[in-house]
Amino acid sequence: MKPIHEYRSVFSLNLLGWLPGLALAALLATPPLRAADASSEAKPVFDETPAQHNMLMQWWRQARFGMFIHWGIYSVPAHAEWYMNNGHVPREKYEQYAKQFDPVKFNADQWAQIAANAGMKYLVITSKHHDGFSMFNSAVTDYNVVKATPWGKDPLKALSQACRRHGVRFAVYYSIMDWHSPYQAAAHPDDTHPTYNPTHFVPGKKDDYIRYMKAQLKELVTQYHPAILWFDGGWMHGWTDADGREIFRYLRSLDPRLIINNRARGCGDYGTPEQHIPANGLPGQDWETCMTINNSWGYNATDDHFKSARRLIRNLIDIASKGGNYLLNVGPTSLGQIPQPEVDRLEAMGAWLKTNGRAIYGTRPGPFTQQPAWGRVTAKADRLYLEVFDWPSDGKLQLPAVPNREVTAAFLLAHPHRSGVSVSQGSDSITVNVPAEAPDSIASVVVLELKPTAR
């Protein structure tokens, strides 16, 4: 991941279209979606029918919410995951952090339980970040967590097993750029003050690196059986779209069910906007916003700029209302603990989802070309979910009419059997009358049930 210096506004208009009355079965009949990059047109390149691709992506589209974990030996100096580059640390000096990495408080079941309690449906952990240190048991390098640290254990094995016990799909991140590799050279080499990003291939060594990379990817797929392979670092010099397509084909040959993001370049199953929510989503393709809870991906002992639970919950709603997934990051310490401020916020998200998850999981964008001023709208089957951020002081929520549909019932998702919600429908508008008190101070959900109008 790249260092973060600023945030963008996350609340904006949703110009995505909506297909009235579209149920999940119909949704799965849509054309295949392939993201070439986070913002450009999708590029389908492989022999795969729309039905096959939609079947592959079905669980991912239902999930909506996942956990990202950036963890490595960079947690020892505790200056986040780019420290080797930003601190201009020579390779030999950086290697010493492996000898200090001893996460005696790591508990795979605890991590998986934190994700499950937060309502997260999948988990993506760094198997190798840009620093080149492998956080798994790799036979093709001794520079890995089992062989180079006093801890000597394989966290990916433990976490993959724990995720399955807790009902969370396991996935891995892998960086193409590698600041430690003998096959890649630093952008500005210096014995005492190197700058690595972006690396380039040592002349004549590109094929050697690709062989190394393929060997590690095979280990990851065959040893840990991830549901997703999440690439990064494809901006290094010398790596091409053709290289990305070759890696994509290779991985699909190892596991035809493997979902692969777009950052290997040239193709991909979904787009990956980073640290922001696109104003209109990414129409025409699957997408996932990855974001930090504070300002750092890897553990940074000085970073206490944590987003509030309110902001994180509303981010999730905003993303779902635009048809995307939310991959929210935690950065564990060198002892193997997820920082408590991050846990606290995830617990708050899980509490909200326990009551309101039906408005998020498996939903699609609502039917309106512009998001209402009071919140967001998601849809599923014959229901609209109105996620209300600003509860109306006059007790009325205003919406445009839904073409060829009428509202047959309305209720609060938190109190489905309690009266107090009613609807007035005109030819071009809907007025939802709600109680004086909001059920939830962060986001209250009103459900509208629809049916086709007689023609």
Set out the domains of the chain in order of their start, with CATH numbers. Answer: 24-359 (3.20.20.80), 382-452 (2.60.40.1180)
Give the Cβ contact number of residue 16 at 10 Å.
Answer: 20
Do residues 390 and 375 touch, judged by C-beta distance below 8 A? yes
Q: What is the pLDDT of residue 7?
A: 30
- pTM of whole model > 0.85? yes
| Residue 320: predicted pLDDT | 98
Neighbours of 12 (CB within 10 A): 16
Positions in the chain short of pLDDT 50: 4-43
- Which helix (DSSP H) or strand (DSSP E) does residue 352 occupy? helix 340-356
pLDDT value of position 454: 67
pLDDT tens digits, residue range 129-180? 999 999 999 999 999 999 999 999 999 999 999 999 999 999 999 999 999 9
Cis? peptide before 198, omega within 30° of 0: yes
- Strands 65-69 and 444-452, how do they pair? unpaired
Residue 2: per-residue pLDDT: 63
pLDDT the model gives residue 4 = 41
pLDDT given at position 16: 32
